[in-house]
Amino acid sequence: MKIVFLGAPGAGKGTQSERLVEKHGIVQLSTGDMLRAAVKAGTPVGLRVKAAMEDGGLVSDEIVIDIISDRIDEPDCANGYILDGFPRTVAQAQALDRILAEKGIKLDAIIELVVDAAAMLARVEKRRADAIAAGKPVRKDDDPEVFKERMVKYREETAPVSDFYDADGRRRTVDGMQPIASVAAQIDAILAA
Ligand code: AMP
């Protein structure tokens, strides 16, 4: 099963991905997680993306396209995967179509978790408070100012990805404002159809 999850920062893509990973024995491919790991490990890619990530900007299309293209060839992807946080620009979406066509792969679903901006900010603030309460490191991009910048980028660069997939009717939407279990049920209904 191969799924693309779309949705603004804080929409709950990570939460729903984790559930589907368990349920279907697939892997979650979060470009954000991969980039954070690269920054932490101090790899050449990590050094190139660090500033953009900390400022709430997007890293270059070329970098994330290469990361995803290589990653989906790994053996653990054979059973399927969820793309979480990719594609984030129309150029990435076009590249993904091209890469998948070259590899002879067909996506099962492109699903957007739709939530409103105020709710997203509240979720990010909660994630930050929970991390602090648990003594875990706070993600730098969960800072409210950085979050606002991420929302600007989302509106400018990522919202058009929804239109891109709408052009040929591929995008499915779920109401991300519902409780987690209800969002899960909506997603399962799409995947079962
Ligand atoms: P996330 O964990 O998905 O919210 O991603 C955290 C940060 O990583 C984003 O704010 C961007 O700086 C960067 N990032 C993650 N995925 C992408 C992508 N597909 N394109 C560009 N930048 C990305």
User: For the segment 89-114, what is each residue's pLDDT rounded down to a tens digit?
Assistant: 999 999 999 999 999 999 999 999 99
pLDDT in tens, 52-75: 998 888 999 999 999 999 999 999
Backbone angles phi, psi at 59, to 5 degrees: -85, 170
Integer Cα distance of 110 and 53 in angstroms: 25
The H or E element spanning position 45 is helix 44-55
Q: How far is the CA of 23 from the centre of ligand 1 (A)?
A: 25
Nearest atom (ligand 1) to Cα of 57: 12
Active site residue 71: no
pLDDT of residue 153: 86
Half-sphere exposure of residue 164: CA atoms within 13 angstroms, side-chain side: 19
DSSP code, position 24: H
Integer Cα distance of 129 and 142 in angstroms: 10
Please indicate, yes or no, whether the overall pTM of this predicted structure exceeds 0.75: yes
Strand arrangement of the beta sheet that strand 171-175 belongs to:
27-30, 81-84, 2-6, 109-114, 171-175
pLDDT of residue 141: 66
pLDDT in tens, 79-91: 999 999 999 999 9
Which residues lie across from 83 on neighbouring strands? 4, 29
The string of DSSP codes covering 148-172 is: HHHHHHIIIIIHHHHHHHHTTT-EE
pLDDT in tens, 131-170: 999 999 887 767 878 888 888 889 899 999 999 999 999 9
Nearest atom (ligand 1) to Cα of 153: 10
Average pLDDT, rounded, for the chain: 93
The number of angstroms, rounded, from the C-alpha of 143 to the middle of its chain's C-alpha atoms is: 18
pLDDT of residue 148: 83
Q: How far is the CA of 105 from the centre of ligand 1 (A)?
A: 24
Q: C-alpha distances in angstroms, 127 versus 22, 31, 157, 175?
A: 22, 19, 24, 20
Q: For tokens 């957007």, what's the residue?
A: 112
Half-sphere exposure of residue 69: CA atoms within 13 angstroms, side-chain side: 17
pLDDT of residue 146: 83
**Angle in degrees, CA 154, 112, 139, rounded to 5:** 50
Among 139, 140, 170, 172, the active-site one is 139
Integer Cα distance of 77 and 136 in angstroms: 29
Active site residue 123: no
Q: How far is the CA of 58 from the centre of ligand 1 (A)?
A: 6
- Strands 81-84 and 27-30, sheet pairing: parallel
Nearest CA to ligand 1 atom 5: 32
pLDDT in tens, 18-50: 999 999 999 999 999 999 999 999 999 999 999
